Amino acid sequence: MDMFTIRGARDSLADLPAIETARLSVAALQPADAAALRRLTDDPAITAAVDFLPTPFTLQDAEDLIRSGRRGRDCFLGAWTRGGDDPGVAPDPAGRDLVGVVGTHLRGTGTIEIGYWIGGAARGRGFAYEAVSAILGLLGARFPARLVVAECRPANVASWGLLQKLGFRDTGEEGHRPGRRLLRRD
């Protein structure tokens, strides 16, 4: 294996391992997860906040989003409750409940962008902090030289506060998406 092959394998999100937290299993979404992803994401509160998600969010959209991870530049990880009996969350037929998604995206040679969304019934219960915190730990170990960034609307008080709690700071720069600011994790 030469140096270019080793770097190519290391600079990929395609094989991120699953992570267990106190309440969640976080793992790359698979084709079999498309129906659960559609159920969670086909919510105007989510599709309005995440600029690349169409409304309505169809099963085909879910399948396409999951497939986008094949190239290794993007990976969407599902945050599933462990045990499948969380009150207020619609049960998945497989016996687990998808409560959120964390997106990871390689940007250039030195940056990883993260983003996330949490389903309505699961909001305000600490799932976003738990899932994103676990992913940040994984990314920090896997890509120690990369800067981790996020984009957020300042008016999105809940996400802005969560990002600050996770160690992100406003860079003072506009993000690439309309109305968003760029935050970086120190």
> Tens digit of pLDDT for each residue in 45-69?
999 999 899 999 999 999 999 999 8
Average of per-residue pLDDT across 38-43: 97
Tokens found for residue 63: 């399948």
Flag whether pLDDT at 85 surpasses 90: no
**In terms of Cα–Cα distance, which of 108, 101, 104 is closest to 139?**
104
β-pair partners for 74:
105
Ordered structural domains, the chain, with CATH: 19-185 (3.40.630.30)
The secondary structure of the chain in percent helix, strand, coil, rounded to multiples of 5, reads 35, 30, 35
Q: Rounded to whole angstroms, how far apart are CA atoms 186 and 167?
A: 6
- Asked if residue 1 has pLDDT above 60, the reply is no
